[in-house]
């Protein structure tokens, strides 16, 4: 057996909320003007109460609304696959499992939160959402979700991606969204995620029919992603495993990592590992302090590892990992020592991605290549020690719209940042 599937009625019906189980409570977000802790009312111009309540909830479990489950069932539960061909190629005694989030309509884990975010906004009368997108993964996911709930969606896309990566823009437009390059007021700037967040927040704050939607970082986003780890736990049991020894995921804002890792957080036997690019080393080289979520300084200040809100990361192919900050929950776990963090240069991650493609067949997203690199290195360490570790990693998305990056790697044009 290499593939462990759950039936559609085994989809989780509640999200796991990590907040009450954190060893150290999160410090509160602060108002950008007064620097005082913010309350729910400060967030209502941008978010619906349903999501604000989840952002601050101390309930251990939060029920998933039926209308959300009906849409998640289009692709969930996702497969858990044992990568036996990769194991054999590496000659490792480790058992490597990956959770395949690439099977969603948008091709990544991101619709897991896009769908509930659209649902709660619609339920509170919003007819339009605004957001930012880097390489286009999040914009694609939110476009899909808005279409499901008959809402308008406006996406501010980082200009360099808008110009160089047309295919995700076409998917967003196919799903009915309006896509514009960001920053809107400076056509000479290549843009950044932080600048695009500023554009999208400004738009939503100025209109009564619109809210803003963020694809990562926030507590409610990680909450929605816990379906990944909850399913994986059941599937590992089907595979006869008691627990994973190590859980690995790429980390941009922390949502796919939180999604797969948080359900294992209270088991001290399970190591949790974040993998980030060496060119945007938020967890491994950033400072833990309060910083803005955007570049201009309009969002609340959050306690997190950050490279500074004006940090301009170099353009690497893993666009989804180019964010100056990180999720407060993930930052908390790293700071308290519950989670490890590591960074790789992109050449090493593409090498791993190509190894994966040549053994397991699937072509991963450049972001996912970071998790694969760490999983392979963990498996190679087991080869040295002879340990039969159980390695679980999140296959956060496919790379079929990132082929120009593979072209660069295969033809020695990749800059090894």
Ligand X SMILES: *Cc1c(COP(=O)(O)O)cnc(C)c1O
- Footprint of ligand X on this chain (CB under 6 A)? 108, 110, 137, 216, 250-257, 320-321, 365, 367-368, 396-397
The residue (of 210 and 368) whose beta carbon lies closer to ligand X is 368
Q: Report the nearest approach of ligand X to the CB of residue 398 (Å).
A: 8
The residue (of 54 and 256) whose beta carbon lies closer to ligand X is 256
The alpha carbon of residue 144 and the mean position of all alpha carbons in its chain are separated, in whole angstroms, by 16
The beta-carbon contacts of 195-199 under 8 Å, at least 24 apart in sequence, are 195/158, 195/294, 195/295, 195/296, 196/132, 196/133, 196/134, 196/156, 196/157, 196/158, 197/132, 197/293, 197/294, 197/295, 197/299, 198/294, 198/295, 198/296, 198/298, 199/132, 199/156
The residue (of 79 and 397) whose beta carbon lies closer to ligand X is 397
Q: Would you call 20 exposed, middle or buried from its count of C-beta atoms within 10 A (0-12, 13-18, 19+)?
A: exposed
415: tokens are 């800059």
Q: Report the nearest approach of ligand X to the CB of residue 36 (Å).
A: 28
Closest CA to 155 of 143, 170, 171, 166: 143
The residue (of 68 and 401) whose beta carbon lies closer to ligand X is 401
The residue (of 110 and 309) whose beta carbon lies closer to ligand X is 110
The residue (of 194 and 397) whose beta carbon lies closer to ligand X is 397
For ligand X, which residue has the nearest CB?
397
Asked whether the beta carbons of 15 and 227 are under 8 A apart, the reply is yes
Q: Report the nearest approach of ligand X to the CB of residue 114 (Å).
A: 11
Three-state DSSP state, 397: strand
The residue (of 356 and 389) whose beta carbon lies closer to ligand X is 356
Three-state DSSP state, 372: helix
Q: Report the nearest approach of ligand X to the CB of residue 7 (Å).
A: 26
The residue (of 108 and 295) whose beta carbon lies closer to ligand X is 108
Q: Output the CA torsion sign for 340, 20, 7, 106.
A: negative
Q: Report the nearest approach of ligand X to the CB of residue 188 (Å).
A: 26
Q: Report the nearest approach of ligand X to the CB of residue 292 (Å).
A: 18
Asked whether the beta carbons of 239 and 80 are under 8 A apart, the reply is yes
Q: Report the nearest approach of ligand X to the CB of residue 320 (Å).
A: 3
Q: Report the nearest approach of ligand X to the CB of residue 93 (Å).
A: 28
Give the whole-angstrom CA distance, residue 231 versus residue 369: 22
Q: Which residues pair with 291 in a beta bridge?
A: 302
């Amino acid at each position: 057996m290499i593939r462990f599937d759950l039936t559609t009625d085994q989809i989780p019906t509640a999200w796991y909320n990590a907040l009450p189980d954190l060893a150290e409570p999160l410090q509160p977000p602060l108002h950008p003007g007064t620097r005082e802790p913010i309350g729910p009312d400060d967030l209502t111009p941008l978010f619906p109460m349903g999501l604000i309540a989840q952002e601050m909830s101390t309930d251990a479990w939060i029920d998933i609304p039926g209308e959300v489950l009906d849409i998640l069932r289009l692709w969930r539960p996702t497969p858990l696959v044992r990568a036996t061909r990769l194991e054999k190629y590496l000659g490792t005694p480790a058992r490597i499992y990956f959770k395949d989030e690439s099977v969603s309509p948008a091709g990544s884990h991101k619709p897991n939160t896009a769908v509930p975010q659209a649902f709660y906004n619609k339920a509170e009368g919003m007819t339009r959402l605004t957001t930012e997108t880097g390489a286009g993964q999040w914009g694609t996911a939110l476009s899909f979700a808005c279409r499901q709930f008959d809402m308008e969606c406006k996406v501010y896309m980082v200009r360099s991606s808008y110009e160089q990566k047309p295919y995700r823009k076409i998917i967003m437009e196919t799903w009915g969204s309006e896509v514009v390059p960001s920053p809107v007021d400076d056509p000479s700037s290549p843009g950044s995620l932080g600048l695009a967040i500023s554009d999208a927040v400004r738009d939503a704050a100025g209109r009564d029919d619109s809210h803003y939607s963020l694809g990562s970082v926030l507590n409610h986003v990680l909450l929605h992603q816990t379906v990944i780890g909850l399913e994986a736990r059941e599937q590992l049991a089907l595979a006869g495993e008691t627990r994973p020894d190590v859980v690995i995921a790429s980390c941009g804002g922390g949502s796919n990592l939180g999604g797969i890792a948080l359900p294992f957080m209270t088991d001290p036997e399970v190591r949790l590992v974040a993998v980030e690019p060496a060119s945007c080393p938020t967890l491994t080289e950033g400072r833990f302090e309060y910083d803005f979520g955007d570049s201009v300084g309009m969002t609340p200040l959050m306690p997190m590892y950050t490279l500074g809100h004006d940090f301009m990361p170099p353009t690497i192919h893993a666009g989804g990992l180019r964010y100056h900050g990180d999720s407060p929950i993930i930052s908390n776990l790293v700071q308290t020592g519950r989670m490890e963090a590591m960074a790789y240069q992109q050449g090493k991650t593409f090498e791993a991605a190509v190894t994966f493609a040549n053994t397991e067949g699937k072509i991963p997203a450049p972001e996912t290549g970071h998790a694969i690199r760490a999983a392979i290195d963990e498996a190679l360490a087991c080869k040295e020690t002879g340990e039969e570790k159980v390695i679980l990693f999140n296959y956060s998305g496919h790379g079929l719209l990132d082929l120009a990056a593979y072209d660069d790697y295969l033809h020695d044009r990749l800059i090894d940042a």
